[in-house]
Structure 1
Amino acid sequence: MLTWEDDVEVHALRKRGWTISAIARHTGRDRKTIRAYLNNERTPGVRTRTEPDPFEPFVDYITCRLREDPHLWARTLCDELEDLGYRMSYQTLTRQIRDRELRPVCEHCANATDRANAVIEHPPGEETQWDWVDLPNPPASWGWGSMAHLLVGSLAHSGRWRGVLAPAMTQPHLVDGLDRICRGLGGLTRSWRFDRMATVCHPDSGRMTASFAGVAKHYGVTVTICPARAGNRKGVVEKANHTAAQRWWRTLPDDVTVEQAQARLDEFCRVRSDTRPRRTADGRTTVGALAAAEALSPPPTVPYPAILTESRVVSRQALVSYRGNRYSVPPELASAQVTVTRVLGAEVIDIVTGSQITIARHRLAPDGAGVMVRDHGHVHALEQVAMAAAGTGGRPHRRKERIPPGPEAVEAAHALRRRTTEAAASSSDESDPVSAGTTSTVIDLSTYERAARGRNTLA
């Protein structure tokens, strides 16, 4: 195999009139090799196989399968090939597909940037675009598991957006987020645009569900569903999703509560997002100023009465945490699982047990106020239970308290000593030579003393 440098030298010598034999002697190569490179039958840097290519018999089948299905997984294709006698590795298959360029480009799924895009007009006050964003790894103190969700709403004309955190993407959480975001944006547009989310429409047909139709009529808006495979029709909210994930969620500390995180998001939207510059026919402006000029309709005085439910665990103090505040329940439910039920727009919340029994109703405090809402009956019952437990259980021991052995321990110690004394006396009787009837040997230690003195004298 010749390198590119050797190939250039061979061609240069040939142009000078050298014969193939002379070039072969000069380079130390075989004449057939030199002739093959001069005739462009071989490529520098590519070694000619001395044995048949084991992958070649499968090329036709792979080409046909990938032409039929350009998105066929290489793992699935490898399963089919193994039934046809393929014995090489999966990594070899993927490498050969790449090197031989066997997978064709799917024309139907070409990237939107490779296709011509129409310019979609967004008149002021015409459309609000909505979408959910999955936010992985929320703080463990939230108790939301491995995923949080953010509902984002964006005005299509100005680009102003707001978001609301939620533990789930249920329809009540969607309705709650729609109401809060619309009030944060300053009002309602004439139309709401969604992708094919199941809480709004039937994903297969794109037709609105009966349950969400009531929501749309309550707010007096029309609902527009994106056509299938046309996600770029709501590109304004998609860009807001990217901003929320990369500029706000990515830097959120671990020690914040849900309410603090929501406040940080609202502050980010006001300080960072609304101050973005925009160029219009009337000159330069900002997103906030452009949004303020949109003709938005005022939202209803009360939200749509959806029923919002969230599970909670009662603390040892018989308190239930909900949106930055704590609400009391009877002390018998300490450490139990309960459900907080709230009708959107109502001023009270209900706390329901697992058997669907409402055991507490409290007036709803402002989110994140940090207050403790307690019923007088719950307080009295908790004090009675706590005092009764303290009276029966006694006070806890101090770490440096003196606690001598009690009467039972002293009696057990006396019995143990008697048992030890009797065992020692029995052992001494068995080892006494006189009582055992045996003779003893008396050793005179003066003999050892004289031997020791003699040894010292010799030294």
Structure 2
Amino acid sequence: MEAQALRKRGWSISAIARHLGRSRPTIRAYLNGQRVPGQRRRGVPDPFEPFAEYCRLRLDAETGDPHLWATTLFDELVELGYAGGYSTFTRALRGRGLRPDCDKCAHAGGPDEYVRIEHAPGAETQWDWLELPQAPASWEWGSGAHLLVGTLPYSGIWRGVLAESEDQPHLIEALHQVCERLGGVSAEWRFDRMATVCHPATGEVTASFAQVAKHYGVIVRVCPPGRSWRKGSVEKANHVAAQRWWRTLGDDASPAQAQASLDEWCRRRGDIRIRKIGGGRVSVAELARREPLRPMPHPAFPAVLEVERLVAPQALVSFRGNFYSVPPGHAGQMMLVRHLLGAATLDIVTAGGAVLARHRRQVDHAGVICQADEHAAALEAKVLAARAQAAGGGPCPRKTRRPPSVAARAEADRLRGAGAEDKAPVVDFAAYAAQARPLSAASPAGRTGTSTGGDVAGPGPA
């Protein structure tokens, strides 16, 4: 400010520099606007600068995702080679104004008060369904997918399993798989008032799910009505799963790849979180190892899983990434794939309840085509019969000898004759000699002419 004032009075840059005790390049830079007071020039290159354009594109309001979590974007930059810290990254986002403002979110409020509930190690597992919209079309799961999330609130560790539906058999199957990923079974399970576990009006556990609780040896706790945050640990895990994993899942991922990516994310990102316990700092993975969980019962609870599937034209039915055959004649019809959890086989059943086929269940998402020999033979016979009926007999023989017919040979001779008339060579040497004699007679006397086309000499007898 003083330099600007002195400059307006007519002072030279050298005089201002001597008066203020600064160098002339510094005074000149401030007077020309090249430097701004309060903003220091970096002595080293900014590590965020190469990634600024990528962040701008990811947070763009039209082509990107303006609500993408900073932690999720930071994970992506680390994979791309960003070596700075998280606080440096968020400061760069704020300083450059890369995240656009959202008027709707600016006026959205939330609960003002929370109560922290202490949990003993291994005492409780909290469960909840997370609805995931816009599932990839290749999954053929309708409008969305479903993720059952289970968390141990003492340590904060959580795992999730993708499911096609939220009915009770899918719930039981996902419960078993999540417990395997968590490492065992806790003493209690806490749910909200989902109809597959309890009667929503009264909160009493249903008779069918009571058998499940008895099989796993747990006590079922149901949240009070309208108090879903009573299981706040799993609610927060749902929030993280939706924002940091599902929001960035690619469209080309299969269900198996999506499940594998979620398990990997939980191990690499979720389990390394630091929690303060007893005045110390411990990772979530270390706390999870301290929880006294009981071993998993084997086999799983024998629930009957049923899903609808459309029979393909090849008489195949898809289930969990594999294909199972049915007798021909049912293409385009809806069938039920029925599987008893823990069993080695599955049944394909009609809408009326008739069992069409029974197959040994293959490993999920292995891409195996399980086709019974009798189904393959019946399908082949049906296809051959259809071809025979359409052609008026069996398929034409492919190895018979059929030379060109008389008419074809005559046409070939005609074509050869037409070509010979156009380009016929001179084969009559007498005619050639008769044409060459007048030319020989016109040559000078005593001079012998030699033809290049044959043994013709002139003048004189040949």
TM-score tier by shorter-chain length is 0.5 to 0.7
Equivalent residue number for residue 315 of structure 2? 318
SS of residue matched to 2:329: helix
Relative to structure 1, is the Cα distance of residues 148 and 376 closer, same or farther in structure 2, using a 3 angstrom cutoff?
A: same
**CA shift at 1:282, angstroms?**
7.0
Residue 180 (str. 1) matches residue 177 (str. 2): yes
Equivalent residue number for residue 307 of structure 1? 304
SS of residue matched to 2:220: strand
Equivalent residue number for residue 203 of structure 1? 200
| Distance in 2 of aligned mates of 1:373 and 1:272 | 38
Residue 217 (str. 1) matches residue 214 (str. 2): yes
Equivalent residue number for residue 21 of structure 1? none
Equivalent residue number for residue 233 of structure 1? 230
| Distance in 2 of aligned mates of 1:269 and 1:387 | 53
Among 154, 157, 170, the alignment partner of 2:154 is 157
Please report the TM-score for the alignment, with normalisation by the length of structure 1: 0.60
Equivalent residue number for residue 118 of structure 2? 121
| Distance in 2 of aligned mates of 1:248 and 1:393 | 54
**CA shift at 1:229, angstroms?**
2.7
Equivalent residue number for residue 141 of structure 1? 138
**CA shift at 1:278, angstroms?**
2.4
Please report the TM-score for the alignment, with normalisation by the length of structure 2: 0.59
Equivalent residue number for residue 277 of structure 1? 274
- Percent identity at matched positions? 54
Relative to structure 1, is the Cα distance of residues 383 and 194 closer, same or farther in structure 2, using a 3 angstrom cutoff?
A: same
Relative to structure 1, is the Cα distance of residues 392 and 255 closer, same or farther in structure 2, using a 3 angstrom cutoff?
A: farther
| Distance in 1 of aligned mates of 2:314 and 2:110 | 57
Residue 191 (str. 1) matches residue 188 (str. 2): yes
**CA shift at 1:111, angstroms?**
5.5
| Distance in 1 of aligned mates of 2:191 and 2:197 | 8
Q: Which amino acid aligns with 2:121?
A: P
| Distance in 2 of aligned mates of 1:127 and 1:111 | 26
Equivalent residue number for residue 380 of structure 1? 377
Cα deviation code 1:380-422 (max 9, x no counterpart): 11111122223333489xxxxxxxxxxxxxxxxxxxxxxxxxx
Deviates more, 1:330-339 or 1:219-228: 330-339
Residue 362 (str. 1) matches residue 359 (str. 2): yes
Cα deviation code 1:283-306 (max 9, x no counterpart): 333212211221100111111111
Residue 256 (str. 1) matches residue 248 (str. 2): no
SS of residue matched to 2:298: coil
Contact 1:260 1:368 in 2 (8 A): no
Residue 341 (str. 1) matches residue 338 (str. 2): yes
| Distance in 2 of aligned mates of 1:383 and 1:266 | 43
Residue 289 (str. 1) matches residue 286 (str. 2): yes
Among 163, 166, 169, the alignment partner of 1:166 is 163
Q: Report matched runs for 1:83-94 at 5 Å.
A: none
| Distance in 2 of aligned mates of 1:198 and 1:339 | 23
Backbone CA RMSD of aligned residues: 1.8
Relative to structure 1, is the Cα distance of residues 282 and 295 closer, same or farther in structure 2, using a 3 angstrom cutoff?
A: farther
| Distance in 1 of aligned mates of 2:267 and 2:383 | 48
Contact 1:130 1:237 in 2 (8 A): yes
Q: Which amino acid aligns with 1:262?
A: Q
Stretches of structure 1 lacking an aligned partner (at least 5 in a row): 1-109, 397-459
**CA shift at 1:279, angstroms?**
2.9
Q: Which amino acid aligns with 1:239?
A: K
Stretches of structure 2 lacking an aligned partner (at least 5 in a row): 1-108, 397-462
Cα deviation code 1:287-342 (max 9, x no counterpart): 12211221100111111111110000111111111111111111122222111001
The alignment of Structure 1 onto Structure 2 pairs a total of residues equal to 285
Q: Which amino acid aligns with 1:204?
A: A
